Amino acid sequence: MGSVSQIGWEWYSRLAKRVPVTLLTHIRNRKALEEAGAPLKGSEVHYIDTEWFAGPTYRFASKLFPRSQHSAFLVSSVDYFVYDRDAIAKMKLLQPKTKWDLVHAVTPVSPSGATRLHTLGLPVVLGPWNGGLPSPTTFPEIMKDDVGWLYRIRDIGRYLDGAFSTTSTASAILVATKATEAAIPVSSRDRCVRMIENGVNLDLFQPAKWDPPSTTNPLKVVFVGRLVPFKGVAMLIEAVRRVKDRIAIELTVVGDGPLRAEWTETARKAGVEAIVRFTGALPLPQVAAEMQRSHVFCLPSIRESGGAVVLEAMAASLPVLAADYGGPAEIVDEEIGRAMSMLGAEALIRDMVRSFEEIVRSPELWRQKGVAGRARAERLYGWDAKIGTAIDLYSRILEKRPLNG
């Protein structure tokens, strides 16, 4: 399903191979989970139905913010608190006949998810969280278009954190970035453990043969993400326009969202509609295939807390271009690609243009960046390695050993 749902599935499916697991999740996930074989062997699944509240809230938010899917998600995320109440009530009914050692709230992946899970009397692990990222000030028009002021709704979770005793009672808080850790109350930071919220399926995202770009083989650029303002696709289209008369280039935009029609028109007005392809949303195997036919992955997103697609591109041996902010800034460097300027739209566009030209001029250098990215993904970001680290953390908590070291 992608995004946060994919994170939940990876944790559940891979943990279930190694330890007994009880999964509680929203009823909207039932169809996809059952089609994937849930409940998996050695596990139980219980569905929490708050659709009576979640459905109308999301529909209202979508009408209120038709251009900003992200803002609609933010408003509708208040359903989380209804879900948390009902999930805990369900767990208390199950608890007398089920021996749990520990409870892990894998999602939501944001510090806004204040929870009362500690009332179960079990050790609680929270995260990995990737929130706490301030909005950039150098792209005012984009942030205005994305209803950036609404991001403050996340502060509700911080206010409720104290009232719910969320972080103060947690045995461990997994944090993905420096910004996330800085958003945790100082009194709870001694229980923070660094772990990026995403992982990558190394079997699905595989390297393909590198066929260097040339005059007869256009540089193939791929973007993957929701088509919402802060993703910066308009800037990417402008970079393609500026460089198209000097190098052969093609852009594939994978994803869907409220700005798809607008950005398709942007490409037409820029005279690049013949070399810019919008695929719509694709299942992960097809996303992997699009990456395998490309030379470089480009993510000009100006407010990216996480970076799952960055890891997927690395696993596919693609060099990565990403804005030097948030989650990608803690992953992308010159060894595997380039972290691009956040000094404003013009600076970011110039960095994309410069990088595209460099790849064509020095394809072997950029191929090696892709190779280094794959090696780093194998070493640090594979899902099985992440789950192994988590199980070790569970053991440390239950045996009252230090969380780090």
371 lies in the same domain as 394: no
Pair (387, 341) in one structural domain? no
Q: What is the CATH number of the domain that holds 361?
A: 3.40.50.2000
* Contacts with 37 (C-beta within 8 Å, 6 or more apart), sequence order: none
Q: How confident is the prediction along the chain (405 residues), in pLDDT tens digits per residue?
A: 557 788 999 999 999 999 999 999 999 999 999 999 999 998 999 999 999 887 787 777 777 766 655 555 665 577 888 999 999 999 999 999 888 999 999 988 877 778 999 999 999 999 898 877 778 888 888 877 655 445 555 556 666 777 788 999 999 999 988 888 988 999 999 999 999 888 999 999 999 888 999 989 999 999 999 998 899 999 999 999 999 999 999 999 999 998 999 999 999 999 999 999 999 999 999 999 999 999 999 999 998 887 889 999 999 999 999 999 988 999 999 999 999 999 999 999 999 999 999 999 999 999 999 999 999 999 999 999 899 999 999 999 999 999 986
pLDDT tens across 265-323, in order? 999 999 999 999 999 999 999 999 999 999 999 999 998 887 889 999 999 999 999 99
Statement to judge: residues 97 and 111 lie in one domain: yes
Give yes or no: residues 290 and 331 share one domain.
yes
Q: Evaluate whether 57 touches 79 at the Cβ level (below 8 Å).
A: yes
Q: Is residue 405 part of a domain?
A: no
Q: State the chain's mean pLDDT as an integer.
A: 90
C-alpha pair distances (Å), 353 with each of 238, 239, 266, 344: 9, 5, 18, 15
Listed residue (267, 251, 280, 285) closest to 356, CA to CA: 251
Domain annotation covers residue 210: no
Residue 368 shares a structural domain with residue 394: no
CATH of the domain at 84: 3.40.50
**351 and 247 within one domain:** yes
- Same domain, yes or no, for 152 and 240? no
Spatial separation of the C-alpha atoms in residues 146 and 69, rounded to whole Å: 9
Please indicate, yes or no, if residue 236 is contained in any of the structural domains.
yes
Query: Do 227 and 173 fall into the same domain?
Result: no
Name 24's bridge partners. 46
The verdict on 159 and 262 lying in the same domain is no
> Cα 182–87–53 angle (5° rounding)?
90
What residue numbers bound the domain in which 277 lies?
219-381
Structural domain count, the chain: 2
pLDDT score at 95: 93
Q: Does residue 345 belong to any structural domain of this protein?
A: yes
Q: 185 and 40 in one domain?
A: yes
Instruction: Give a yes or no: residue 237 inside a domain.
Output: yes
Residue 212 lies in a domain: no
Residue 207 lies in a domain: no
